[in-house]
Structure 1
Amino acid sequence: MSSPTILVTGATGHQGGQTARSLLSAGHKVHAFVRDPSSQAAVALQAQGATLIKGNYDDTASITAAMAGITGVFLNTFPSFTDMNAEVRSAQAFVDAALEAGTVTNFVVSTVYLANTYADWSVVADKFPFLAMYFKSKSGVEGIVRNSGFSSYTILRPCWLMHNYELPGPRYHFPSWDKRTITVSYAPEYKQAHLDALDVGKFAAAALAPFPFLATFKNKEIDLAAEYLTWDEVAKALAEAGEVDVKVEYRTPQETEALLKTGTFPPLEMQCWRSTLKGDIDVQELGSYGIKMGTFAQYLEREKAAIRKSLGVE
């Protein structure tokens, strides 16, 4: 059986990069779809054996050209907060190009955990307008891939990704991050699902491999998480990695409601909405896929330099 040729989008990012490296380590041919082939991340992928394909998500000509000779695609799209249709439009462009190429049989997309909660996200739009727009976009991407007609598709839904603690992410999610403080509106006992982007790459690579995993991942939609941690546990682990004090502050219901009404802090909508939901990802069941997933401690050890920089230590 000949090795597949996989087009990996977002190849210089966390999820795309880990997917590309996982595929390369398994001996597969990788075409890395990148905006800037001269970037440090792109050059590093090329050195590992990837073929660099220059393109943009809003350039259909470059997307069409990138599909030449491709048998599988990993798609990771990104929302635009100035054009709410951009993400869905990009997904459609990649799917259309893949179908037109006639060689793509396997299509894997990474969206986000809970994107399939509602068929119509307008039901929460009044209270959580930003959240509704974000998830509507992700849900739209899923629908395009699900209804594409490829021989095999897989939808991966990662939960909170561990690299959100690397700059610039935490400054967006936690207003007092530069004071080494995690401020949230969750209850102290709430446990946040965590996932290493490395594991997204492992699952995506396995789903794109023709053997032995194809039947396992064919037409599957998989919620991904590796570990559940309270925010106090997160702060303790970060403090140990950075060798500095990291604390957690919990907003009162009154503080949360007042901030929510301002409409100036979009991440708060997720915290408020997520706190109302029951049911979580069955981490043990994910073990049935035969993919060993990493822990937060392992991530922190591997990315200690980035975490220390994020905490202002280096």
Structure 2
Amino acid sequence: MPPPSVFLCSITGSQGKPLALQLRRLGWTVKGTSRTPDSNAARQLKAAGVELSEGDWDDVASLTAAMSGVEKIFISTITYADDPDRERRQGLNIVAAAKAAKVQQVALSGSLGVVTLGDPTLSPFFKMVITGKRVIEQAIEDGPFKHWTFIRPAFFMNNLLTPQVDYFLPHLRQENIWETVMREGERLALADPDDISKLVVVIFQNPEKWHGRGIPFASELLSVPDMLEQLGEATGTEFEEYFMTDEDIDSQAVSFSFMMSDRVMRKQAEYMDMEELSSAIKLTSFSEWLEKEKETVLETYC
């Protein structure tokens, strides 16, 4: 019996690459597309036996061809600050290609934000972004796929690294200050992308168990002051938090960084079932992530 075959979106990215390598270690056939086939990540994947081809998320035909013969697909899309609707369009193209390729199982890594769509405090920008993500989810639910599962992370730990940190937390590196919408005692739901990859492997191996679910995801729940203390110990830098006022929050309501300063961020820990997640995979604590990414963390802050 041939090994399972999988197509991974964002295969050279922070979620796709570790997932590809894990699946190859299991002997699975792994396919993906890359616009930069000569990049270090692409070369590493090819060396591991991953099949890479040219493909464009704006071109359904090329995506369908790249997915030929696969049984499963992992979808992770990109948010574009200058054209937020592009994520929705590309996501629908990926789903259309998966339908045409007769894919049987879909695992999507989206956003916890979709569960907050009915919240009246949502900013216009954040609402536009997560509405697009929910449209992609709905297209999968309405499709012919035998099994589907949505993983919904909140805050990626690697958002603390360059270049992402300067978009989401513009004062953290320059002034050593984290401006946060969180209030004292509230905790962020931190996600290590490697942990998401581990969970996707479990989902692919147990499609019936995880079918039809949207899973809020975090590796650890941690307050901003506790995060900054650990980050400071890892970098030898003293950081401080600034709890934003309502006026501060409203002034950022149309910016990309507002995705980190929307009031709904305060509720993310409430959605997490850490017991279920920790029973499915070994979760990575923030301190473990700092050690694992030590070189890049030091390059970012020192």
Report the TM-score when normalising by structure 1: 0.88
Where do residues 199-238 of structure 1 align in structure 2 (5 Å cutoff)? 199-209=195-205, 213-238=206-231
Q: Distance in 2 between matches of 1:15 and 1:184?
A: 26
Q: Distance in 2 between matches of 1:187 and 1:4?
A: 46
Query: Percent same amino acid at aligned positions?
Result: 27
Instruction: Determine which of 268, 278, 288 is the counterpart of 1:287.
Output: 278
- How far 1:159 moved relative to its partner? 1.8
Aligned to 1:186: 182
Q: Distance in 2 between matches of 1:222 and 1:259?
A: 28
Aligned to 2:300: 310
Q: Distance in 2 between matches of 1:93 and 1:268?
A: 27
**Contact 1:109-1:145 at 8 Å conserved across structures:** no
- How far 1:306 moved relative to its partner? 0.5
Moved more, 131-140 or 179-188: 179-188
- How far 1:188 moved relative to its partner? 2.6
Q: Distance in 2 between matches of 1:208 and 1:262?
A: 39
Q: Distance in 2 between matches of 1:28 and 1:83?
A: 35
- How far 1:259 moved relative to its partner? 5.5
2:250 equivalent to 1:257: no
Q: Distance in 2 between matches of 1:230 and 1:124?
A: 22
Query: Mind listing any 5+ residue stretches in structure 2 that lack a counterpart?
Result: none
- How far 1:270 moved relative to its partner? 4.5
Aligned to 1:245: 237
2:146 equivalent to 1:146: no
- How far 1:263 moved relative to its partner? 4.3
AA aligned to 1:48 is: A
2:290 equivalent to 1:300: yes
AA aligned to 2:272 is: I
AA aligned to 1:283 is: M
Assess, with a 3 A threshold, how the Cα gap between structure 1 residues 216 and 259 changes in structure 2: closer, same or farther: closer
- How far 1:298 moved relative to its partner? 1.3
CA-to-aligned-CA distance 1:210-246 (integer Å, 9 cap, x gap): xxx222222222111121111111111112222x223
Q: Distance in 1 between matches of 2:138 and 2:207?
A: 21
**Contact 1:160-1:194 at 8 Å conserved across structures:** yes
CA-to-aligned-CA distance 1:236-274 (integer Å, 9 cap, x gap): 1112222x2231231452xx4146236464434643422
Aligned to 2:192: 196
AA aligned to 1:298 is: E
**Contact 2:31-2:67 at 8 Å conserved across structures:** no
**Contact 1:231-1:248 at 8 Å conserved across structures:** no
AA aligned to 1:294 is: T
Aligned to 2:111: 112
AA aligned to 1:285 is: E
Aligned to 1:38: 38
- Aligned pairs, number: 300
Q: Distance in 2 between matches of 1:198 and 1:176?
A: 26
**Contact 1:166-1:310 at 8 Å conserved across structures:** yes
AA aligned to 1:306 is: T
Report the TM-score when normalising by structure 2: 0.92
Assess, with a 3 A threshold, how the Cα gap between structure 1 residues 153 and 79 changes in structure 2: closer, same or farther: same
Query: Mind listing any 5+ residue stretches in structure 1 that lack a counterpart?
Result: none
- How far 1:145 moved relative to its partner? 1.1
CA-based RMSD: 2.1
CA-to-aligned-CA distance 1:138-164 (integer Å, 9 cap, x gap): 111111111112011111111211111
Q: Distance in 2 between matches of 1:275 and 1:60?
A: 34
